[in-house]
Structure 1
Amino acid sequence: MPEFTARPAAPDSLPLDFATMADTAQHLIDAGGQMSAAGLDTGTLAMRGHLALLIPEAEDRLGRLAGAGAEEARQRLAAGPDVLGPLRYARCLARSVIALCTLLADEGKRDA
């Protein structure tokens, strides 16, 4: 599996939709057991993509507060599905997406 490398978002990029990302992750957790192999692969790819956006965003906006959540997400990405199996791996990624979305959304509310 290729190594995960996150890059910061471009300054002129659109804001991330934390609610949609978290909802998608929750759907994967809830329905993962009933998904086809192709659906699970698609969900896993979506979670990997969400984390590729969320990790640098969290590190940029939250600094040290994002440390544990971002590091755990990186470790889960690096582990791959071989260790846990495809369903557990997808659910672990989804939980990291939800955790980072919650942190970032809460930080956004404090700034408002």
Structure 2
Amino acid sequence: MQQGTALPDGAAEGDVRPLDIATMRDSARRLLAEDAEPPMPEELSTLTLTLRGHMMLLIPAVEDATRGLPKDDIPRACALACVGEARMRLNLEPGRTLPAGIAHAQRLARSVNALCDHVENLGGEHR
């Protein structure tokens, strides 16, 4: 028995929208900029979920961008290593304190930036 996945309203099968790399980088910058203010607890939760969502979109985009590359290609290996680390970070839980939650979100933000770099460097779809 095959299971289906529901598509968003108005989306047709095969309807792939380009990634909004600029917005994803802006989300990461909110935590990583040199002059970034620490987020409030309510904002941190939203930001963490946003970064996780970005990663869930970026991981398959990076994997797709590596598909045509030779198995021994160094950029391919680097991109797939980044995907592995991003998947590992998605499985981690933030700490219970605000500083631990911020540190967790910063690690997610660094993964978002790295995945965006790989999408751009490998010529993946984005806008």
Q: 2:57 aligns with which of 53, 62, 76?
A: 53
Give ranges in structure 1 of 5+ residues lacking alignment: 1-9
Shift of 1:32: 5.5
Write the mapping of 1:1-112 to structure 2, written as runs, cut at 5 A: 11-30=14-33, 31=36, 33=38, 35-63=39-67, 65=76, 66-82=79-95, 85-108=100-123
Q: What CA RMSD, in Å, does the superposition of the two structures yield over aligned residues?
A: 2.1
Do the aligned residues in 2 keep the contact of 1:29 with 1:94 (CA within 8 Å)? yes
CA distance in 1, matches of 2:87, 2:100: 17
Secondary structure of 1:81 counterpart: coil
Distance, in Å, in 1 between the alignment partners of 2:37 and 2:100 is 12
State the Cα distance separating 1:103 from its structure 2 match.
1.0
Normalised by the length of structure 1, the TM-score is 0.78
Change (3 A) 1:32 1:47: farther
TM-score (norm 2): 0.69
Residues 96 and 86 of structure 1: is their aligned pair in 2 closer, same or farther, counting only changes over 3 Å? Answer: same
**How many residue pairs end up in the alignment?**
99
The Cα shift of 1:38 comes to 0.6
Q: Which runs of 5+ in 2 are unaligned?
A: 1-12
Aligned partners of 1:50, 1:58: CA distance in 2, in Å?
12
Greater Rg by CA: 2
- 1:73–1:93 Cα contact (<8 Å) kept: yes
Most deviating of 54-63 and 37-46: 54-63
Question: Any conservation in 1 of the 2:65–2:123 contact (CA below 8 Å)?
Answer: no
